[in-house]
């Protein structure tokens, strides 16, 4: 580290893995990738159906938002992957690009080069449509996209029931037309998780010009005058050091980690930095603002048919997975999805429906002894905005997050519509023969007032924090359209934090696209 590197990247998550792989393609360039967590060796990472077993373990940063003023003052769980692959080693592996209008809106908001036609080649460069079912997904890229290997029979019932309520079947939710229901495209290969560490980093780690250091906690940026020259860090033995970047330092620590490091380094709202004892270097009011996520809730039902994932943890299922990569453990749980509009006149879907042949409640911590299925409605176009702040100048202290979820009446109204639609699907003929009692919330929740009260006490987040280092051309933006941090040289951010507005769907695909495009921007100087 004393000799320095051309590029220092902080965070080996979805963006950091892709960025390190792309920048190290040039053998004349040296790249250092720093990760606070460890290697991705846990079976709960490799087994798709076991993703929630990582929550609140050493593999999880275990953040939370709150108290949330519009959700009965509750705190909401925000798991983030800690280790190689980051949250791509922890997510439910659901692959969606988002809506074309998401990216066109980014461009129209002062970010030329980020419209849908501009970013589509970067999606295609990343993707490998294994089943070759889509004319829109790329082929030959590192990120493998495949069908769920062995979906449960309950999932077929759920898809049929949704269509009986008038939702069309959509063979490709990654086409420009997102409306409709479909089996979930998943980021898996040969029946196991395919994280961005698998897709990008591990092949690149054979290169002598790429160094990957795990167990390293970055404490802040090294700043010389008006230029960032690297990062200050502490290794797993508690030893301090500085990693020098001859060309650029890139923060890819995610929508929580990246703004936190900027604030700890004196880059952010000057009034807030003084409040927590950090000397301001660059007064950048937008750092930590614009926090977004996808609020969701679940309805859970008993199933009278033994067609769920209830038997997934039995020894026979584990043996099938270990020997043949088949069986219920290859499931991502959310085996089908759909996109609908909560009201007429919307330019695109604002709700995502997720169908799972399992009892999934309270992030998997709540359990049910028997066969069941769950249906979720997710608000993918939230109007509410939150913020991230430091609690102190201590890098080890988790930042304070408040999302203000459901602050806007339109957000609540859309989720009420989603509730009614899920109840309609549950009553459809294809589910009638196997549907037992409603376990969550229960049949006594009927009126709009009761539904709204249920939402305020039950809404959680879909693990997609974004927006806290917003990209733009205005004074409130944190990074410019080239992802360079305003007011300081030698520093960029490339992760979900740069999204001006969160995308309409799951975010690993768009974050990978951001990293692919960032690599070209950085190489172009």
DSSP annotation string for 349-380: --EEEEEESS--BGGGTB--SS-EEEEEEEES
Query: Would you call 464 a catalytic residue per the annotation?
Result: yes
Residues 485/494, Cβ–Cβ less than 8 Å: no
Per the rule left: phi > 0, alpha: psi between -120 and 50, beta: everything else, 83 is left
Cα(233)–Cα(216) distance, integer angstroms: 7
- Tokens representing 68? 């949330």
Cα(199)–Cα(19) distance, integer angstroms: 12
List the catalytic residue out of 63, 371, 464, 506.
464
- Tokens representing 446? 């009927």
Cα(33)–Cα(45) distance, integer angstroms: 21
Cα(291)–Cα(497) distance, integer angstroms: 8
Distance of CA 382 to the CA centre of its chain: 15
Report the 10 Å Cβ neighbour count for 168: 13
Which residues sit opposite 373 in a β-bridge?
Answer: 301
Cα(129)–Cα(186) distance, integer angstroms: 10
By annotation, the residues acting in catalysis are: 464
């Amino acid at each position: 580290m004393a000799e320095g590197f051309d590029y220092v990247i902080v965070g080996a998550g979805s963006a950091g893995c892709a960025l390190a792989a792309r920048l190290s393609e040039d053998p004349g360039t040296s790249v250092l990738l720093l990760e606070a967590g460890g290697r991705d060796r846990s079976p709960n990472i490799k087994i798709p159906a076991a993703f929630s077993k990582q929550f609140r373990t050493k593999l999880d940063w275990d953040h939370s938002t709150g108290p949330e003023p519009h959700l009965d003052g509750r705190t909401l769980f925000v798991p983030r992957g800690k280790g190689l692959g980051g949250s791509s080693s922890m997510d439910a592996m659901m692959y969606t690009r988002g809506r074309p209008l998401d990216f066109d809106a980014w461009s129209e908001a002062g970010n030329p080069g980020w419209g849908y036609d501009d970013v589509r080649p970067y999606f295609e460069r990343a993707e490998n449509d294994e089943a070759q079912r889509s004319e829109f997904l790329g082929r030959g890229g590192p990120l493998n996209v495949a069908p769920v290997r062995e979906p449960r029979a309950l999932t077929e019932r759920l898809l049929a029931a949704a269509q009986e309520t008038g939702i069309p079947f959509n063979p490709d939710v990654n086409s420009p037309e997102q409306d409709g229901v479909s089996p979930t495209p998943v980021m898996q290969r040969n029946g196991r998780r395919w994280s961005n560490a698998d897709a990008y980093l591990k092949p690149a780690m054979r290169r002598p010009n790429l160094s990957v250091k795990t167990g390293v906690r970055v404490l802040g940026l090294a700043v010389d005058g008006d230029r960032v020259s690297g990062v200050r860090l502490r290794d797993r033995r508690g030893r301090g050091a500085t990693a020098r970047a001859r060309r650029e330092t890139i923060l890819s620590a995610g929508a929580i980690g990246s703004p936190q490091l900027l604030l700890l380094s004196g880059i952010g709202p000057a009034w807030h930095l003084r409040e927590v004892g950090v000397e301001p270097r660059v007064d950048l009011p937008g750092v930590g603002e614009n926090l977004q996520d996808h609020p969701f809730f679940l309805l859970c039902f008993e199933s009278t048919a033994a067609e769920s994932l209830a038997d997934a943890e039995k020894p026979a299922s584990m043996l099938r997975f270990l020997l043949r990569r088949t069986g219920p453990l290859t499931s991502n749980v959310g085996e089908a999805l759909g996109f609908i509009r909560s009201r007429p006149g919307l330019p695109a879907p604002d709700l995502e429906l997720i169908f799972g042949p399992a009892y999934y409640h309270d992030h998997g911590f709540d359990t049910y002894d028997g066969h069941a299925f769950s249906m979720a409605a997710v608000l993918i176009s939230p109007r509410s905005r939150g913020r991230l702040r430091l609690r102190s100048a201590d890098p080890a202290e988790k930042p304070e997050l408040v999302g203000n979820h459901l602050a806007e009446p339109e957000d609540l109204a859309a989720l009420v519509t989603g509730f009614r639609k899920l109840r309609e699907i549950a009553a459809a003929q294809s589910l009638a023969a196997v549907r037992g009692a409603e376990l969550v919330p229960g049949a006594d929740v009927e009126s709009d007032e009761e539904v709204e009260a249920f939402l305020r006490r039950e809404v959680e987040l879909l693990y997609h924090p974004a927006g806290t280092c917003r990209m733009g051309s205005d004074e409130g933006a944190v990074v410019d359209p080239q992802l360079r941090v305003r007011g300081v040289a030698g520093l960029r951010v490339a992760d979900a934090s740069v999204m001006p507005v969160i995308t309409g769907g799951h975010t690993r695909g768009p974050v990978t696209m951001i990293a692919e495009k960032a690599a070209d921007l950085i190489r172009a100087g």
